[in-house]
Amino acid sequence: MSSGRSAGALPVVAVVGATGAVGIELLRCLEQRGFPLAQLRLLASARSAGKTLPFRGEPLVVEALAEDSFRGVDIALFSAGGGISKQFAPLAVEQGAVVVDNSSAFRRDPAVPLVVPEINPQMVKTHRGIIANPNCSTIIAITPLWPIHRVNPIKRLILSTYQAASGGGAAAMEELRESTHAYLQRQPFTPRVLPHPYAFNLFSHNSAINPDNGYNEEELKALYETRKIYGDESIRVTATCVRVPVLRAHSIAINFECERPITPDTVRELIGAAPGVRLVDDRERNYFPMPADASGTDPILVGRIRADLSDPSGRSIALFVAGDQLLKGAALNAVQIAELL
């Protein structure tokens, strides 16, 4: 750690974007996991300054984020958007903090480690002051696949995501609530946060489309981030990312092709013994991962494990996962990184 605190001393932790959907979950994760700290500072925009948030039974006052907010801070957990991260993360590092950033600002920077603790915890040691938290759908997709990739390398990965409102933050979650109420009451509703009507609808993920290849930013993140986290530039990845009218927790249909033949039983065995995941694969009851079950829970749920009948070589598997975007897809992963620090 780049701060000047003495060995054995508890760290001072700051949460940037404390009043947002992920910020609230960061506080809960720190509390529920008993994260050892000397002090917790809550930072947000000036309009949130003065609000209080509960932590370990006490109200903490939110402070306005400023250029000198990080003096004396050892670990800064950022979840306030890429623009804020680009502006303030270098300042935090200059003042002695290690930054765990939840935005996309530094993920593709070759000098910044991109970490999922169940996959590449050793990369934390390579940081130069900033560690990037991967995209939520990438974490949820590839964490369950890592134990498979270690024993039978995955050569091709096809993802179809069903992404909840939580991925758009508290404002998108509220828009889903409001638009659903209006729809059921047969009242008009004009979207303000998302580009299309959300209630009883789904649409292509609302990130920018690359004009050259037709992929949106969310889909390209799956490609670049998977390669970086796995440390394998040869993996072929394609994704179709869709926003669905689910309040919380992303689901993903996954098809992967391994280097050698692999059976569904082998996949179940490998995933069943892996950290951070839980098998939900009950064919008799037709019960498989659902966002309703994944919401508010730490593990990524994995099921519908079956051989891909379109691949006669026996090297391809199809499965379905669901994971809480605000927890393992964001706040929980960041706190796990902080624990490694």
Query: Is 250 one of the annotated active-site residues of the chain?
Result: yes
Catalytic residue among 127, 149, 205, 250: 250
Indicate the domain borders of the chain.
Answer: 12-105, 140-325
Q: Do domains 12-105 and 140-325 have the same CATH topology?
A: no
Of the candidates 120, 162, 332, which has an alpha carbon nearest to the alpha carbon of residue 254? 162
The fold of 140-325 is Dihydrodipicolinate Reductase; domain 2 (3.30.360)
Q: What six digits make up the tokens of 210?
A: 């690359």
Ordered per-residue pLDDT tens for the chain, 341 residues: 444 555 568 999 999 999 999 999 999 999 999 999 999 999 999 999 999 999 999 999 999 999 999 999 999 999 999 999 999 999 999 999 999 999 999 999 999 999 999 999 999 999 999 999 999 999 999 999 999 999 999 999 999 999 999 999 889 999 999 999 999 999 999 999 999 999 999 999 999 999 999 999 999 999 999 999 999 999 999 999 999 999 999 999 999 999 999 999 999 999 999 999 999 999 999 999 999 999 999 999 999 999 999 999 999 999 999 999 999 999 999 999 999 99
Catalytic residue among 136, 149, 241, 258: 136
Strand partners, 257: 156, 316
Q: Which helix (H) or strand (E) holds 334?
A: helix 332-340
The 8-class DSSP code of residue 179 comes to: H
CA pair distance 327, 332, nearest whole angstrom: 5
CA pair distance 164, 198, nearest whole angstrom: 11
Query: Is 149 one of the annotated active-site residues of the chain?
Result: no
Q: What six digits make up the tokens of 17?
A: 């974007």
Q: What six digits make up the tokens of 78?
A: 């950022």
CA pair distance 177, 169, nearest whole angstrom: 13
CA dihedral 320, 277, 107, 204 (to 10 degrees): 20
Burial 43-78 (b: 16+ CB within 10 A, else e): bbeeebbeeebebeeeebebbebeeebbebbbbbbb
> What CATH superfamily classification does 12-105 receive?
NAD(P)-binding Rossmann-like Domain (3.40.50.720)
Contact 314, 262 (CB under 8 A): yes
Of the candidates 282, 329, 296, 287, which has an alpha carbon nearest to the alpha carbon of residue 143? 329
